[in-house]
Amino acid sequence: MTEALGSTATPESGRPEDEAPAKRRGGKRGKKGPLGRLALFYRQVVAELRKVVWPSKSQLSTYTTVVIVFVVIVIGLVTVIDYGFEQAVKYVFG
């Protein structure tokens, strides 16, 4: 017969469930000093940068143009709103 879910029987590993698993003490990071950890961090950063898909020159120029146009439009919008608030404050407080 099959066991019910949530059974209190001993798992297949042979260890009773009330016994806590042995704690690991930091692994590789726990054994290295500050310079070793810094070197590990640097290696991980370089590994992540290798995974990045870098844009081509044409994509980069397109993205740059879109950002500049968007920023100019937002600057114009904020200028118009600021001017409107300025006129409203002058009208109210005279």
Q: What are the sequence ranges of the domains in the chain? A: 55-93
Mean per-residue pLDDT, 27-34: 66
d(CA 22, CA 15): 11
| pLDDT surpasses 70 at 29 | no
| pLDDT surpasses 70 at 76 | yes
| pLDDT surpasses 60 at 59 | yes
Instruction: Give the model's pLDDT for residue 4.
Output: 60
